Amino acid sequence: MDERTVFLPDIVADDRTEFARDDQGWAHPSGYGEPDFTGESGPSMGMWLNKPFVHVENHDRALGRNVLADAAQPLFNHLQILLEGGALKQPRATLKDDIELFERAVHECGIEWPRIRLARYVLCTFADEVLGVQGLTRSGEETLLFHFHQETWGGEGVFWALRRCCEQAVDHWMEIELIYFCLTMGFQGQFRREKNGLQQVERLRTMLWGVLQRLGRVAAPNPLAQIPPMAPVRVSRSQVLLPVLFMVILVLSAGVVFVSRTDTESEVNALAARLSALNQTLGEAAK
């Protein structure tokens, strides 16, 4: 393991993830080994955001085939069918099979397990979002993210992983491009809950495309796909709270929502600043 290895953030790779421990470290059920990093403590968000980018050289390293994106094509095809209003006989089972196929394919291509795990986390989160917004989830049914990673929500984790990958963009351009494709198809993650979430995602997507161009990628960006918003939860009359209790909860919640939105906007601005700095650094290195 070297310093270029990118692991998922603590919020998506903590001790809740179930792996079988043996003398070789943490073993994935499929048999792929993974170093024991659960006891490591990473830098804080502030430290991460303030860490300067290093100058990048050897841009031709990003000119080859994106194995991650190629292996995810069957999943992307099925997700596109669902996004366009089409039907799959067993959507969740189909997407689960696609993710397992992806995992085997990239492993056979020699991709390191931590990178496979990160990419699989992204794809599970995107697939769960599509199933959710299309109303294809069943009550009590575990999410794909929980099935593969024992996590129930990955909306924040994907963007944290993106930040981590951007720190070593030349080494992890495949992951960056994979996330870019997910954003292009309509993935929003944590920003789906925000008032101007779509605009914020489009802003990040545009900046990501700039990073990929600087790295030598030539795939033309596609318009951001529109995914229907989440269907509102229907509440029966018997579930309506008493007026006084409702007002108390409303007042308390207002402060929480305000802080949450402020934090999210701050994270977007910080990531945008990082991407802008990376674009500038790549441009200077190319001269």
Rounded-to-integer distance, Cα 249 and Cα 241, Å: 10
Rounded-to-integer distance, Cα 71 and Cα 73, Å: 6
How do the domains of the chain map onto residue ranges? 10-233+263-286
Rounded-to-integer distance, Cα 5 and Cα 165, Å: 9
Res. 242: pLDDT tops 90: no
- pLDDT at residue 68 in the model: 95
Q: What is the pLDDT of residues 26-82, one digit of tens each?
A: 333 443 333 333 333 333 333 333 333 333 344 445 567 899 999 999 999 999 999
Confidence of residue 249 (pLDDT cuts 50, 70, 90): very low
Region at 228 (left for phi over 0; alpha for psi -120 to 50; beta for the rest): beta
Q: What is the pLDDT of residues 190-237, one digit of tens each?
A: 999 888 888 999 999 999 999 998 888 865 444 333 344 433 333 344
Q: State how far Cα 185 lies from the chain centre.
A: 13
Q: What is the pLDDT of residues 97-137, one digit of tens each?
A: 999 999 999 999 999 999 999 999 999 999 999 999 999 98
Rounded-to-integer distance, Cα 44 and Cα 270, Å: 14
Q: For the structural domain made of 10-233+263-286, what CATH number should be given?
A: 1.25.40.590
Cite the DSSP H helix spans in the chain.
Answer: 45-50, 67-71, 73-83, 91-108, 113-133, 144-149, 155-167, 173-185, 197-214, 243-286
Rounded-to-integer distance, Cα 59 and Cα 285, Å: 9
- Which residues is 22 bridged to in the sheet? 25
Q: What is the pLDDT of residues 144-162, one digit of tens each?
A: 999 999 998 888 899 999 9
Residue with tokens 């990048």, as numbered in its chain: 56
Res. 22: pLDDT tops 60: no
Confidence of residue 184 (pLDDT cuts 50, 70, 90): very high
Rounded-to-integer distance, Cα 249 and Cα 143, Å: 30
267 or 224, greater pLDDT: 267
Res. 275: pLDDT tops 70: no
